[in-house]
Structure 1
Amino acid sequence: MTLALAAAAFAQDLGVPLSWREFTNNRSHAELISISEAAIDTILPQLNVASGDFAGIGYWQAGNVWSAMANEDFRAGTTKYKAQVVDQLNNVFGLWAHYDQFGFNDDAMWWATAAYYGFRAYGDTNLLSHAEDVWTHVNTFVIPAGASSISTKNFGFSATCEGKSMAGGVFWRTDAGDDNVNSVTTGLFITLSAYLAEVTGDAKYTNAAIASANWIRRLNLNSDPIVLDTVHALDCSRTPTTWLFTYNTGKYLEGLEVLYDVTKDTQWRDLAVSIGNAGMKSTAWAGSNGVCTEGASPDSNNDGVGFKAIWVRAIDEAYNRVAKRGDNEAYRILLHSYVDVQLNALLELAANGTSYSSAWAGPPQGFTTWGQLASLDVFVAALHAA
């Protein structure tokens, strides 16, 4: 499978589909910074400073507001949001051990990744320590090679599913009886591990990222390749193969891009290209015009609203790393064009002043916290990738 995917990475068509809606942009960098900051400033009145949450969205989604704010400063080369980001990431870490409010390992890692982005943007080593603390905590829910039990679960399970090793899979919940091993939790662990490997040089993080990257590749990747959702450790049953969500593919893509820069192993770069290309052109969450339709919910919040923000953040990370390497111009242009499609849709079809609908294809509507959340990563991505 590794060789097949590597071959596909070079053989595939990385061209921009001509059916995509408005895949260029002529706005200045200064204008894009202004748009991005205005979108962040529009969501900030929803902040509860005691809890670090935002009215109208859930805990995991709130963590991603802080990620967008840290990344805005990082991409723009500013420190406008430093005081708020650092204060709230420290505050919430103090409220919930390992950032774990509800017993979900993915929740903990959404916040830990925000802490890493904060460290990257501002150099605050307390935030790096928070990210490392969560990694250590979640690592106790990772399946080791050959294992049929782990200390944090009260049941035994098969070391293989479908004849393939379960090593590197990460359990979704801390509940001792819950057997869900899913891609978003594993993808978050890959990404967090790879970032920590990049900044510390510690091989334990690199090895963890590789093991978990191999779990998704072995067990939870379809032929497109798009990342699937969940494998149940107890009986190896699966969620339906039609459960295709942007954030599963997005976290894997982001982790692979960082892992390649850490290891210089071209299998990860080639797999990232295949997955990024497939995800940007997937009909699972977009029509022929390329505008992402997932989570479009004008009347109520849903998780899918947050999913597509994660996906665009991965595209942003991929773009910046590919551009820095200078090793795949066709792919760089495709990533750039995809961000432009989403940017132009938001600004032209979904904008109501400085607030944005979660339905990126429109129509505009009054402010909702979830719609605003979904827009933030698009505007951050536009700072370099548009």
Structure 2
Amino acid sequence: MSLSLGAEALINTTQTAIDVFLASKQANGQISGLGYWQVANGYTAIALHDSWSQTTGNAEILHDLLVEVEANQTDCINDFNDDSSWWGIFLLEMYDLTQDTNHLSVAQNIWAHVHDYVIPPGQYVINGTDMEGGVKWSNKNNETQVNAITTGLFTELSARLALVQQDPARRREMLTDAIFGFFWILRCRYLSAQYVVLDHIDLQTGQCFDWTFTYNTGQAIAAAVAIYDAMKQTQTQPANSPGAGTYLDLACNMARAAMTRSTWVDADGTLTERGAYPGTGPNSKQASENDDAVGFKGVLLRSLAKLYKILSRDRVYPDLQTQLAGFVQWQFQSLQQRATNGRGQFGPWWAGPMDLPTSHSQLAALDVMAAIHAIQ
């Protein structure tokens, strides 16, 4: 299997994977076997598949599923700000795909909710560093965790909503919020020597948890791309912010490192994140276990595809474009050759063996099915 496939055959291959995933849909709009945030990520990948392949074959069913989710979960908001924000990202992809302003309105409601949990200046100072701009993990009164994924999601939401704001003052406000969130990541959770984003800080104890999950860096790449895009397209320059190109350069540096990090990528170039979810060795988990980390690598690949789209549009960094395209293509080929049973079902380890297809392994594969269209 390779990109020598014609356009119709490629669509058939990627759509089959989507159909397998959607076969597990439930009456409440969610997917059997998955957690709330994972469902949002699966639907996001499907929406991006349609956008990037310039088709709309899944738009109607995604809309119908979203109606059911919203009927049971007002504005898709729950107690966890990262969960709510994943749904906000999905709603923005649906807005981009369909131009239905109802999706945009719900995304704005999610943003407003999460905004209440952004840490103001001076409220928490950990080891001499102000936590300003970080976003608390949940809306619980006793929440003490501020983490990179929640903040990165809020940053992307803010920047992308700023891009569609008609009021210049409102646009600047939202873009400033995005930049403050990104500055928190750079100030508190970014290991610049390795271009990697770490996990979270406990506000009560001051303890730093330096886990290096792929999706922390992946979401930071998406956030940086969104800030760059909003600043460039709206010609908005918030106070105390570097120029738009700085954010794009940061995204590129993180992407280059991510595609070559030995704990995330096998020697043959397959994205695995073995440190978080090992497929072999004494600490190996079973393929049937619904571990969140199965889908982390999909978020990274999605963000790399978003970066590719921007670089291609703006005709910059052609060498990195080539590297990104090759990386995406290899993940697709590896899945087709080593991690499928040939019926559109995929296992959790993209380098193989196939093992057991589950909702969470299918979820991760959907980002590959979308990304392959981004590089065409």
Is the TM-score greater than 0.5?
yes
What is aligned with 2:97?
A: 121
Asked whether 1:209 is paired with 2:178, we answer: yes
- Indicate the larger mover: 267-276 or 192-201: 192-201
Amino acid at match of 1:177: N
DSSP 3-state at the match of 2:135: coil
CA distance in 1: counterparts of 2:18 and 2:100, whole angstroms: 21
What is aligned with 1:11?
A: none
CA distance in 1: counterparts of 2:12 and 2:155, whole angstroms: 33
CA distance in 1: counterparts of 2:107 and 2:158, whole angstroms: 10
What is aligned with 1:278?
A: 257
Asked whether 1:333 is paired with 2:302, we answer: no
- Indicate the larger mover: 261-270 or 182-191: 261-270
Q: 2:21 aligns with which of 19, 22, 43?
A: 43
- Residue 166 of structure 1, CA deviation: 1.1
CA distance in 2: counterparts of 1:286 and 1:185, whole angstroms: 24
The answer (yes or no) to whether the contact 1:98–1:137 under 8 Å persists in 2 is no
What is aligned with 1:153?
A: none
What is aligned with 1:253?
A: 221
Asked whether 1:97 is paired with 2:74, we answer: yes
CA distance in 2: counterparts of 1:270 and 1:193, whole angstroms: 20
- Indicate the larger mover: 177-186 or 229-238: 229-238
Q: 1:174 aligns with which of 133, 139, 154?
A: 139
Q: How many residues align?
A: 349
1:102-121 deviation per Cα after TM superposition (whole angstroms, max 9, x unaligned): x1100101111111100111
Q: 1:268 aligns with which of 243, 247, 250?
A: 247
Q: 1:288 aligns with which of 244, 261, 267?
A: 267
- Indicate the larger mover: 342-351 or 82-91: 82-91
Q: 1:64 aligns with which of 41, 59, 70?
A: 41
1:248-281 deviation per Cα after TM superposition (whole angstroms, max 9, x unaligned): 1111101111111111311101111111111111
Amino acid at match of 2:133: G
1:4-49 deviation per Cα after TM superposition (whole angstroms, max 9, x unaligned): xxxxxxxxxxxxxxxxxx9x8433333322211110011111000x
- Residue 81 of structure 1, CA deviation: 1.0
The answer (yes or no) to whether the contact 1:90–1:127 under 8 Å persists in 2 is no
- Indicate the larger mover: 86-95 or 110-119: 86-95
Q: 1:348 aligns with which of 317, 328, 337?
A: 337
Moved over 6 A (4+): none
CA distance in 2: counterparts of 1:31 and 1:325, whole angstroms: 29
- Residue 366 of structure 1, CA deviation: 4.5
- Residue 238 of structure 1, CA deviation: 0.8
1:41-76 deviation per Cα after TM superposition (whole angstroms, max 9, x unaligned): 11111000x212111211111111111111111111
What is aligned with 2:212?
A: 244
1:127-175 deviation per Cα after TM superposition (whole angstroms, max 9, x unaligned): 11110000000000001223x1xxxxxxxxx2x3233321110000111
CA distance in 1: counterparts of 2:288 and 2:70, whole angstroms: 31
1:168-213 deviation per Cα after TM superposition (whole angstroms, max 9, x unaligned): 1000011110110000000111111111111225222211110001
**Root mean square deviation of aligned Cα:** 1.6
CA distance in 2: counterparts of 1:196 and 1:273, whole angstroms: 23
DSSP 3-state at the match of 1:172: coil
CA distance in 1: counterparts of 2:95 and 2:67, whole angstroms: 12
Amino acid at match of 2:206: C
Asked whether 1:193 is paired with 2:158, we answer: yes
What is aligned with 2:85?
A: 109
- Indicate the larger mover: 286-295 or 177-186: 286-295
DSSP 3-state at the match of 1:351: coil
Asked whether 1:374 is paired with 2:364, we answer: yes
- Residue 220 of structure 1, CA deviation: 0.2
DSSP 3-state at the match of 2:201: strand
CA distance in 2: counterparts of 1:358 and 1:99, whole angstroms: 27
Amino acid at match of 1:260: Y
CA distance in 2: counterparts of 1:195 and 1:186, whole angstroms: 14
The answer (yes or no) to whether the contact 2:304–2:324 under 8 Å persists in 1 is yes
The answer (yes or no) to whether the contact 2:29–2:67 under 8 Å persists in 1 is no
What is aligned with 2:235?
A: none
Q: 1:227 aligns with which of 184, 197, 214?
A: 197
Amino acid at match of 1:170: V
Amino acid at match of 2:226: V
Asked whether 1:34 is paired with 2:34, we answer: no
CA distance in 2: counterparts of 1:361 and 1:372, whole angstroms: 14
Scaled by the length of structure 2, what TM-score is found? 0.89
Identity %: 33
- Residue 382 of structure 1, CA deviation: 0.3
CA distance in 2: counterparts of 1:333 and 1:145, whole angstroms: 41
Amino acid at match of 2:50: D
Amino acid at match of 1:70: A
